[in-house]
Structure formats: C-alpha cells, structure tokens
C-alpha cells in the first residue's frame, strides 16, 4: 500500500500541531492538579494559639469572727505579720532593704517608692527603729528587713 497520498505537508503539519496541543494540555493539567511543593526554607510555619490573659475575679469576702484567744487590741491599720505594707515617705529615693534589722547591716536591695510587700516577721527594735521582715509577693528573692517609719499598711490584694 502506498502511503504517499496520506503523508502530505498538511497532514504532517496538522499532526504536529495536534500533538503539540495535546502536550500543552497535558502539562497544564499536571501543573494545576499536582500539589505545590513549598521551598525548603529551614523552618516549619507554626500555628499561633491565642490564650487570653486571666481575669481578676473578686474572691468571696470572709466574715470576721472573734477569736477569744486572740489579742483584743488587733488593729488592721497597724503593721502585722501576713499583712501588706507599701514603701512610703522616701521622697522617691526608695528604701534600703537590709539583711538583718539595724542600720549597720548590709543592704540587700533598694525597694522602690510605692512598692508593696508582705510582712513575714517582726517587729524587732534596733537603732531607734522598729524593723519588719518583708517579702515581695511577686518575687521571693526580694526579701529583707525594713524600718517601719517608711512603711504604710495597705489592704490585701
């Protein structure tokens, strides 16, 4: 059989164009349907989870009861153990918190004006001052003795 009449330039050109179109369609479909590969950047993206800050809720107020063994002269306006005090009256200079009661003991740190502390021990009278052992409620390393002259009682948080 002679194939020359079927192999003219129109048939060959049409076949090549048709094959080219099929190749382009195939490549386009492969490109659109294949998953995208992310470039290797050395880290993986992280999901961010927002956790809301805790809110302050008021605690139930305890009803005070009289303890017959307790001292009848307890005054909430005076400094007492487990009470809170605030540095006051330093004129913004702060207060030297010391390692032991007394003016001659080593200064551990300087408490800032209006800083609040929890009273853990005392009173001790030395060098003409009454001293109380204070601990910062937010940092146990901020602890030491302070003269009561520069402390003011504040309500519990």
- Distant-in-sequence, close-in-space partners of 80: CB < 8 Å, separation ≥ 6: 74, 119
Residue-wise pLDDT tens digits, 40-65 = 655 656 677 777 777 766 666 666 66
Residue 33 has a pLDDT of 73
Residue 143: give its domain's CATH number.
Answer: 2.30.30.40
How many Cα atoms within 13 Å fall on the side-chain side of residue 149?
10
**Does residue 26 form part of some domain?**
no
* Residues present in the chain in total: 157
pLDDT at 81 over 80: yes
- Distant-in-sequence, close-in-space partners of 122: CB < 8 Å, separation ≥ 6: 79, 81, 101, 130, 131, 132, 133, 145
Task: Kindly state the DSSP code that residue 1 receives in the 8-state scheme.
Answer: -
pLDDT > 70 in the chain, percent = 76
Task: Please tell me the distance from the alpha carbon of residue 30 to that of residue 13, in angstroms, as a whole number.
Answer: 26
The total of structural domains in the chain comes to: 1
- What burial class does residue 19 get, using C-beta atoms within 10 Å of its C-beta: 0-12 exposed, 13-18 middle, 19+ buried? exposed
pLDDT > 90 in the chain, percent = 42
Angle at 82 between CA 78 and CA 135, to 5 degrees: 105
Query: What does pTM read for this prediction?
Result: 0.52
Domain that holds residue 132: 84-154
Structure tokens at 66: 């009289």
**Does residue 70 form part of some domain?**
no
**Does residue 110 form part of some domain?**
yes
**Does residue 38 form part of some domain?**
no
**Does residue 40 form part of some domain?**
no
Residue-wise pLDDT tens digits, 95-144 = 999 999 999 999 999 999 989 999 999 899 999 999 999 999 888 889 99
Average pLDDT for residues 73-102, to the nearest whole number?
Answer: 85
């Amino acid at each position: 059989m002679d194939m020359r009449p079927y192999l003219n330039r129109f048939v060959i050109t049409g076949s090549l164009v048709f094959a080219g179109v099929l190749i382009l369609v195939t490549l386009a479909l492969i490109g659109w349907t294949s998953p995208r590969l992310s470039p290797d950047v050395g880290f993986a993206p992280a999901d961010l989870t927002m956790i809301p800050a805790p809110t302050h809720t008021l605690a139930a107020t305890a009803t005070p009861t009289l303890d017959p063994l307790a001292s009848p002269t307890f005054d909430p306006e005076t400094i007492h153990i487990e009470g809170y005090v605030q540095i006051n009256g330093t004129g913004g200079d702060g207060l030297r918190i010391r390692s032991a009661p007394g003016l001659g003991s080593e200064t551990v740190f300087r408490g800032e004006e209006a800083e609040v502390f929890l009273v853990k021990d005392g009173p001790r009278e030395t060098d003409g001052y009454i001293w109380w052992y204070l601990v910062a409620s937010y940092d146990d390393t901020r602890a030491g003795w302070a003269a009561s002259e520069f402390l003011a009682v504040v309500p519990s948080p």
